[in-house]
Amino acid sequence: MRYELYYWPSIQGRGEFVRLALEQAGADYRDVARGSGTPGMERMLSWHSATPPFAPPFLKAGKLVIGQTANILLYLGEHHALAPRTEAGRLWTHQIQLTIADLVGEVHDGHHPISGSLYYADQKAAARKRTHALLTERVPKFLRYFEAILHANRSPHGAFLVGRRVSYADLSLFQVVDGLCYAFPKASAHYRKKSPRVHALAKEVAARPRIAAYLASERRIAFNRDGIFRHYPELDQVIYAR
Amino acid sequence: MRYELYYWPSIQGRGEFVRLALEQAGADYRDVARGSGTPGMERMLSWHSATPPFAPPFLKAGKLVIGQTANILLYLGEHHALAPRTEAGRLWTHQIQLTIADLVGEVHDGHHPISGSLYYADQKAAARKRTHALLTERVPKFLRYFEAILHANRSPHGAFLVGRRVSYADLSLFQVVDGLCYAFPKASAHYRKKSPRVHALAKEVAARPRIAAYLASERRIAFNRDGIFRHYPELDQVIYAR
């Protein structure tokens, strides 16, 4: 079965978490809007299917149309061994993914604290305040959490978030680290010291053959100022007390 | 098995979505912090279990400790017939729930657009702007989406979001409607006209015997200004063009 991924063709965005899982799975998929633009995607959003998504990304898998990033990963995790098969392992992986999703939402709202319909330039003052809280309180709290999970799960087989194999949550955590490094290079230099296991995992994920090939390919869209992780130098200015 | 729910004892918050599911399921559960305060909960947050939650609510189900509201509902849906058994139905219900969760997050950020660590009073100007966008753009968009789902799924058996039986997503949509009515009575009078099916569903959920008994009991905490849905009259001031 050839999957069809529907997502905005010019950004990594939330679609990237799905792309990484599809790439690691070696799945056959078409990134629809990158080939034929967004009309097809917009048609799907307007009740073309019985289970229309609220927003991209969504995945067409045979007759299924699955929306919500974490839900798509839940599906791919089960079908491509990107999560444990046990109920406990499946729920735990999904729990971590939903926590990553919360962080991603907070990162987005750092540059759009008032409204997604306004330009960044029109909410710059609030963005500066929100990003300060994001970089000094929230990101460190999330990274401490992931660091602690990796610490608790350490094994001679490598350090994954769940069990002894790579899961979709590991791929997503790589994406978060990569995005933070792009958007906030100064803050990230600090985070790297504070959460070495998280950063080691990100490095390991990036080096996996299928992911490395993907990252080097044209399929990987470069980070830019339309996505979730955006580099505005004026937002990467915080003093770290510790 | 007796479930243990861990959540802040003085607010409905995100815990309420779990409480409603447990009540509709007729499940045996203890709302731990309401009996014995939060120290037990805080202990669990600090690596008392192998799968520590990032934040409340979380549910102890035998040996499992499950965090993230939507993840807990995914579990309860499977174990208490609060979601279809088919893969397609299970994913669709979860997809709707995750979309509800997105709306809930946006409602929270309406009064806390800058930081959860600051008081509302310290981010009032931004809150006014964000809530304006929330009430005029975002909530209507979400309600249109849920309204369309109910329209597409209408049947003589009643109008549920998924299939012909009540699911945890229906219970959660009731909670959102109830919260919006409390927080934004003026805006909600407008929403009621625009999304009659959503409001009819909320009424139907509230009238279900187990839910009605719960809502009338002391187990239901009243809405207040510490929760997600907060009534600040100054935020409920928007002009609806249509």
Question: Does the distance separating the beta carbons of A74 and B91 come in below 8 Å?
Answer: yes
Is residue A47 very low, low, confident or very high in pLDDT (cuts 50, 70, 90)? low
Average pLDDT over residues A61-80: 97
Nearest 5°: CA angle at A226, between B117 and B109?
25
Is the pLDDT at B242 greater than 70? The verdict is no
Are the beta carbons of B22 and B76 closer than 8 angstroms?
yes
pLDDT at B46: 73
Interface touch A94/B68, C-beta < 8 Å: yes
Please judge whether B66 and A109 are an interchain contact, meaning their C-beta atoms are less than 8 angstroms apart. no
Task: Find chain A residues with C-beta within 8 A of B94's C-beta.
Answer: 68, 71, 74
Distance CA A94, CA A77 (A): 9
- pLDDT tens digits, A182-205: 999 999 999 999 999 999 999 999
Beta carbons of B71 and A113 less than 8 Å apart: no
Residue B157, pLDDT score: 61
Using a CB–CB cutoff of 8 Å, tell me whether B82 touches chain A. Answer: no
- Using the Cβ of A67 and the Cβ atoms of chain B, whether some distance falls under 8 Å is answered with yes
The pLDDT of residue A122 is above 60? yes
* B122 pLDDT tier (thresholds 50, 70, 90): very high
Phi, psi dihedral angles at A58 (to 5 degrees): -145, 160
Phi, psi of A239 (to 5 degrees): -100, 130
Chain A residues inside the 8 Å CB shell of B152: 47, 50
User: Which tens digit of pLDDT belongs to each residue from B142-171?
Assistant: 999 999 999 999 876 668 999 999 999 999
Closest Cα of chain B to A231: distance in Å? 19
Reported confidence tier of residue A48, pLDDT bands at 50, 70, 90:
low
Can you give the pLDDT at residue B239?
A: 65
* A45: three-class secondary structure by DSSP: helix
User: What does the pLDDT read at residue B42?
Assistant: 87
Best CA proximity match to A201, nearest among A222, A179, A175: A175
Give the pLDDT band (50/70/90) at residue B66: very high
The secondary structure of residue B123, as a DSSP letter, is G
Nearest-Cα distance to chain B for A127, in Å, is: 8
State the pLDDT at residue A59: 97
Mean pLDDT, residues A92-107: 98
Q: Based on the number of CB atoms within 10 Å of its own CB, is B18 exposed (0-12), middle (13-18) or buried (19 or more)?
A: buried
Please work out, in degrees rounded to the nearest 5, the angle formed at the alpha carbon of residue B80 by the alpha carbons of B43 and B146. Answer: 95
Chain B nearest C-alpha distance from A216 (Å): 32
Q: What is the pLDDT of residues B45-60, one digit of tens each?
A: 876 677 889 999 999 9
Smallest Cβ–Cβ distance between A71 and the set B47, B94, B148 belongs to B94
A109 in contact with chain B, both atoms CB, cutoff 8 A: yes
- Give B31's strand partners: B5
Contacts of B137 in chain A (CB under 8 A): 115, 117
Q: Identify the pLDDT of residue A171.
A: 98
Q: Which of A114-118, B9-13, B38-42, B124-128 has the lowest mean pLDDT?
A: B38-42
Q: Is A182 touching B (CB cutoff 8 A)?
A: no
The dihedral formed by the CA atoms of B230, B235, B236 and B241, expressed in degrees to the nearest 10:
-140
Rounded CA-CA distance A58/A52 in Å is: 9
Of the given ranges (A34-43, A92-101, B219-228), which has the lowest mean pLDDT?
A: A34-43
Q: Do the chains contact at B114 and A117, CB–CB below 8 Å? A: no
CA distance A185 to chain B (A): 22
Q: How far A89 CA sits from the closest chain B CA (Å)?
A: 10
Query: How far apart (Å, rounded) are the C-alpha atoms in residues B229 and A205?
Result: 40
Residues of B within 8 A of A130 (CB-CB) are: 113-115
- The verdict on ipTM greater than 0.90 is yes
> Residue A242 has what pLDDT?
45
Residue A113 is nearest to which of B47, B54, B126, comparing CB atoms?
B126
Q: What is the pLDDT of residue B47?
A: 66
Mean pLDDT confidence for A3-31: 98
| Mean pLDDT taken over chain B | 94
What percentage of chain A reaches a pLDDT higher than 90? 87
Q: Is the pLDDT of residue B68 over 60?
A: yes
- Please provide residue B223's backbone torsions phi and psi, each rounded to the nearest 5 degrees: -60, 150
A-proximal residues of B, 115-174, CB under 8 Å:
115, 117-118, 123, 126, 129-130, 133, 137, 142, 145, 148-149, 152
Average pLDDT across chain A, whole number: 94
Say if the Cβ atoms of B148 and A47 lie within 8 Å.
yes
Looking at CA atoms only, how far is residue A217 from chain B in angstroms? Answer: 31
Q: pTM for the complete prediction?
A: 0.97
For B110, which residue in chain A has the nearest alpha carbon?
A114
Q: Quick one: residue B81, left, alpha or beta (phi over 0 = left, psi -120 to 50 = alpha)?
A: left
Q: Which residues contact B14 (CB under 8 A, 6 or more apart)?
A: B7, B56, B57, B69, B104, B228
Chain B interface, best mutation among A14, A17, A91, by max B CB count within 10 A: A91
- Secondary structure class of A116 (helix, strand, coil): coil
- B179 conformational bin, left if phi > 0, alpha if psi -120 to 50, beta if neither: alpha
Instruction: Examine the pLDDT at A77 and tell me if it is beyond 90.
Output: yes
Residue B154, amino acid: R
Smallest Cβ distance to A117: which of B123, B133, B149?
A: B133
Cβ atoms of residues B187 and B239 within 8 Å? no
